[in-house]
């Protein structure tokens, strides 16, 4: 059962309630994080909390709780849940206001911490690889809302996921208005060609994923060349390997994009090695 902390009280999904006047619901006015715990230990908590508080600062939202206290509550929730592997979702909204858009009308931010489990895809997808399509829905313009802010505004990503569902694919590649590869619907995108691992840079208008940073660490430890580079669909179509990474998805191989097999149509050796290294780091296996 999910454990949910909301404004000072632990409950579950039947007791945790939010006001219909909350600006997070009315206007998407808030920020969040997705965090994992493995074997009861929260993974990269500091990095996630740093990003949460930076996102709040960027939208002029003051979280009425120190990061250390937020971390303590997250640890407490994982322990209470009894889940060996847990997914944690801290959410901070502008708070309860009125029907107007003015943030001054929201006196106190709403804080929610959800501790539950998550399953992105069936195990066979991690073994055989995902199928993807290019979404017609573009990534939001990076000057409209900075993509480094992990905000509650995910509608373009939801619509891109709907396109993938309609096409019978597992996920979608999202592009900017110039055709550059940005990210998947909630994951960072990587491709490998001639042993070099590449992923779009921050200037592409992407969220700097915490797992993305872990991939750079693992690649360096393994002796792989890994770098940031602007990519387009040609780079993905002609890659030897493609994979996705994210807190929920972890590291997931891609076998096909827009009907084109990636490499030989099976997860490649570098991707498989990175998956193994990631699991060893997080689960100790």
Active site residues: 150
Kindly give, in sequence order, each residue whose CB lies less than 8 Å from that of residue 119, ignoring residues fewer than 6 positions away: none
DSSP the chain: --EEEETTEEE-TTT----TTBHHHHH--EEE--EEEETTEESSHHHHHHHHHHHHHHTT---SS-HHHHHHHHHHHHHHHT-SSEEEEEEEE--B--SS--GGG--S-EEEEEEE----S-HHHHHH-EEEEE-SSPPPPTTTS-TTS-BS--HHHHHHHHHHHHHT-SEEEEE-TTSBEEE-SSSEEEEEETTEEEE--GGGT----HHHHHHHHHHHHHT-EEEE---BHHHHHT-SEEEEEETTTEEEEEEEETTEESTTSS--HHHHHHHHHHHHHHH--
**Would you state the structure tokens that stand for residue 84, as one six-digit string?**
């060996």
């Amino acid at each position: 059962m999910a454990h949910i902390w909301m404004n000072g009280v632990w409950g579950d999904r039947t007791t945790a309630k939010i006001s219909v006047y909350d600006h997070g619901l009315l206007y998407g006015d808030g920020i969040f994080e997705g965090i994992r715990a493995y074997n009861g230990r929260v993974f990269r908590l500091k990095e996630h909390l740093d990003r949460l508080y930076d996102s709040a600062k960027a939208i002029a939202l003051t979280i009425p709780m120190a990061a250390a206290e937020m971390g303590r509550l997250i640890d407490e929730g994982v322990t209470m849940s009894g889940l060996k592997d847990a997914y944690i979702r801290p959410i901070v909204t502008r708070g309860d206001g009125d029907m107007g858009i003015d943030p001054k009308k929201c006196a106190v931010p709403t804080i929610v911490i959800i501790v539950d489990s998550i399953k992105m895809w069936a195990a066979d997808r991690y073994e055989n690889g995902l199928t993807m399509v290019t979404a017609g829905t573009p990534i939001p313009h990076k000057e409209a809302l900075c993509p480094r802010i992990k905000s509650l505004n995910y509608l373009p990503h939801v619509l891109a996921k709907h396109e993938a569902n309609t096409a019978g694919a597992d996920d979608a590649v999202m592009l900017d208005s110039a055709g550059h590869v940005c990210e998947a619907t909630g994951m960072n995108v990587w491709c490998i060609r001639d042993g070099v691992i590449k992923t779009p840079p921050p200037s592409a208008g992407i969220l700097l994923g915490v797992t993305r940073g872990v991939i750079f660490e693992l690649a360096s430890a393994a002796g792989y060349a890994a770098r940031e580079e602007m990519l387009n669909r040609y780079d993905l179509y002609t890659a030897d390997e493609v994979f996705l990474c994210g807190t929920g998805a972890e590291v997931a191989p891609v076998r096909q994009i827009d009907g084109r097999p990636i490499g030989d149509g099976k997860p490649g050796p570098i991707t498989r090695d990175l998956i193994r290294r990631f699991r060893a780091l997080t689960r100790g296996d």
